Amino acid sequence: MIFMSEFPQNPVCIPASQFLRDNPPQTRAITEMTMSFSDLDNMNQCLKALQESDERLLSVSDSEAKYDWRNITVKGRLICFGVQLVRRVFLS
């Protein structure tokens, strides 16, 4: 797990499930998000939740995956990440 001891001035990129799969499913849609934090504790709680969720997603086989996290980037008080939707069920 990656935790921040201070708000980083330079971007910190955390690879996520989309780029960690051996045979990633075809992308159907992408949603990008940016979250802003006023304190480091809340930022670290969010990072922990994203990383734990990503570990759970990677436990699903490539062929059964419905979505994956895209890389997580932390800079200053912001966390930016995306969701890659890979099954049509989410697009109906």
**Signed CA dihedral, 22, 82, 90, 1: sign only:** positive
**pLDDT computed for residue 47 by the predictor:** 95
pLDDT of res. 70: 87
pLDDT digits (tens), the chain, 92 positions: 888 999 999 999 998 888 888 888 888 889 999 999 999 999 999 999 999 999 998 898 888 888 888 889 999 999 999 998 886 665 55
Tokens at 33, concatenated:
């998000």
Q: Residues 39, 12, 54, 63: what is their CA dihedral angle, to the nearest 10 degrees?
A: 150
Q: Exposed, middle or buried: residue 79 (CB in 10 Å: 0-12, 13-18, 19+)?
A: buried
